[in-house]
Structure 1
Amino acid sequence: MHVLVTGSAGFVGFHLSRRLLRDGATVTGVDGMTRYYDVSLKEKRLELLGETGAFARHDVMLEDMDALSRVYRDAKPDVVVHLAAQAGVRYSLENPRAYVDANLVGTFNVLELAREGAPRHLLMASTSSVYGANREMPFREDMRADMPMTLYAATKRATEHMAHSYAHLWNLPTTMMRFFTVYGPWGRPDMALFKFVEAIEAGRPIDVYGHGDMRRDFTYVDDLVESMVRLIDCVPETGGPGASEAAPFRVVNIAGGAPTGLNDYIAAAERALGKKAIRNELPMQAGDVRATHADNALLLQLTGYAPSTPVDQGVAEFVRWWRGWRGSNTY
């Protein structure tokens, strides 16, 4: 199987690419190598992926349609997994144009190329943030998702609508994957766990928004990847399980369905480090929601699998990786 992965140098893209390579797939990786965070972490991920001859690296921005087209037409992928995006809820308050360029224009370009290339299956990353101000829980894929709290969430919801239209017009089998608070080794430095661990180890205060009175359906990255790999073979058909009645298109939540309190998440980091956090208690930030909780029944129905790694175990794995990374990098 030949898979084109956008965002291959990113947190999730790296883990997925590595798993696909281990399973014997050929992977064409596309990544813009933007400086949203330290590129040295991305370079190290790509170095590891490049240890096999089955991985091809392409440093291409999604907005560069000419360059992206050349990569796509040379690769002729069987499957496309579109993970590249401008990530980060809070950063969307500072630099909103980056989200329009990467998430909307970039996704449009991927859809256009998939329309022409007709892969067996197009899978695209979405987010639990699309549920926005919805207070009914657990979140089901068939719920309304029209109250985004940030531009990031709005752009990701827009990509879902864009993908549905392409699936309908061009019979393009498409799965949108709504990720719920993914964490684990090789995570981004702007993620909460990375910030918590760095600060606690250094004896610096951590910023605790909403006084820790929030809950998240934390999803360990290996569980996410296992779910994605299984979904590759679950090609949607119009009117099939969980699919649209108008297109070979479906949306799938990927999470364990067991929310954990932010204070418990911090406590797991404290246990893994053997140190107590110094807390800087702060009010809720703009765009934050009190809780996320996924209904993962559709994921279970389609794949027979759902994320199950306990937070204590996942956080300990992150800390183990982080200590090794810190020891080998001036980061």
Structure 2
Amino acid sequence: IVGSVFIKVPRTNVPGSQLGSNSNTWRKEKRRKKPAQIQTMSPEALPLRAFTYKEIEKVTDGFREELGSGASGIVYKGQLEDEFGTGIAVKKIDKMLQESEKEFAIEVQTIGRTFHRNLVRLLGFCAEGKERLLVYELMTNGSLNGFLFCGTSPTWNLRVQVALGVARGLLYLHEECNTQIIHCDIKPQNILLDENLVAKISDFGLAKLLRTNQTQTNTGIRGTRGYVAPEWFKNIGITSKVDIYSFGVILLEIVCCRRNVELETADEEQAILTYWANDCYRSGRLDLLIKGDEEAIFNIKKVERFVAVALWCLQEEPTMRPTMLKVTQMLDGSVTIPTPPDPSSFISSLQ
């Protein structure tokens, strides 16, 4: 399978009370009150520590242990010399081009002013000469990528909690912090797990802040292949709906414990999870997605709910996708989920 194919989605005749009778868009929900555990902290309330480069060299033992790498730099393991011996992850941004300087500024200004159970906390930074480093709390259980795809599949109940945690983190970024934040690169490698396997969204280096009087923003193509929303490839503004598309992909991966793209699979129809899941949903054979997973099969109704939510998130037309508030409500069963439109009966918009 070469290239990307985007499916045309119908814009009318969508069943369900959640959709307006004369519109294909999800009704805008009233902003709900913030739960007690969610806070937006000012720099004064949660000050970031300014480290010297020598301090960071010391706490990382000369950048000895690499935890991973990304587009903007390498991440190293370290330990603060405080009374708790706090574990840290230090992202070292090596190439200080104009773009990476901009990303550094975004990370410091954004993460430093936010606090949520499902966001990785930024503890400090270093801006010394040409050096740019970010100091985060250490997530001891690695990424969702390793959690789902490397070794024994995690239990169904644990996967459900991870999915809900990611959803709550995105809800906070989109609707509950002072300035809306679009992550732009939601993928399993950017979902980390702490010592209690609580999911936390990391890496805001690609985040794009929306000012109060804006509804969309224009930027270069961001994100990771397999998780990128179709509008990235069109000359239109980018909204928070790009994150919702990416979440839809991740939600299916969590349900099925497999990657979205597996080109080496024997059955070509199963190579792209988003397409295969849609086929299984339409044919009433969701059991094929969770074959051998006894816990998930026992909870087939919740599996059906999660897959339906994912298919709504994956609509090609951004306005057809629900908001993260609606997503969280559908996931926890507090609202009815209308049947998502079937894209497979429409001609591809890209040949």
What is the TM-score with the length of structure 2 in the denominator?
0.24
Structure having the higher Rg: 2
Q: Which structure has more RCO (C-alpha within 8 Å, separation ≥ 6)?
A: 2
Which protein has the bigger strand share? 1
Greater helix proportion:
1
